[in-house]
Amino acid sequence: MSLSSYSRAAYNIGEELRALLRDEAYGPFLASLSASSALTVCEFRRDNVELVRKVATAQPKPRLKHLDKLPVEARFWTIAAAAQMAFEASAVIDAAEIHLRTGGSYRSMIAEAEQVLLAPHSREEVDWPFPTPSPFPHPDDAEDDE
């Protein structure tokens, strides 16, 4: 399997997870999202990394088993954080395939590795994994205005 196949699979998992957030049980949480919610999901992910990883990497049925054990608010943030993790993985995998090649100097590899590290920040779905419009301007939006 090529790296781009892994990237697509990770992105699709992120989309599956984001779709779960459209459930009516999460309506009150979606309605109260604000710009600070981006920080909240990052903090939740950091504080619950093992749970988030289990949910992001589980097959759909085991994923639901993990989620069903959680109170609704924790389930909401777990799903959002797992979607973010999957979207971020997709971005990193894509960037690694493009930028990390053997044969260059170790100094040039520093610059190429930096491109991989920055890749997730160029994708809106990493910064805003929710199924609602992002409150943040995104570089792609500027292109639409031209």
pTM confidence score: 0.86
Length of the chain counted residue by residue:
146
Q: How far apart (Å, rounded) are the C-alpha atoms in residues 17 and 102?
A: 35
Render each residue's pLDDT in the chain as its tens digit; 146 residues: 678 889 899 999 999 999 999 999 999 999 999 999 999 999 999 999 999 999 999 999 999 999 999 999 999 999 999 999 999 999 999 888 878 777 888 888 888 888 888 887 778 888 889 999 888 876 655 555 55
Report the domain count for the chain: 1
The domain of 66 spans 3-145
Render the burial of 61-85: b for 16+ CB within 10 Å, e for the rest. Answer: eebeebbeebeeeebbbbbbbbbbb
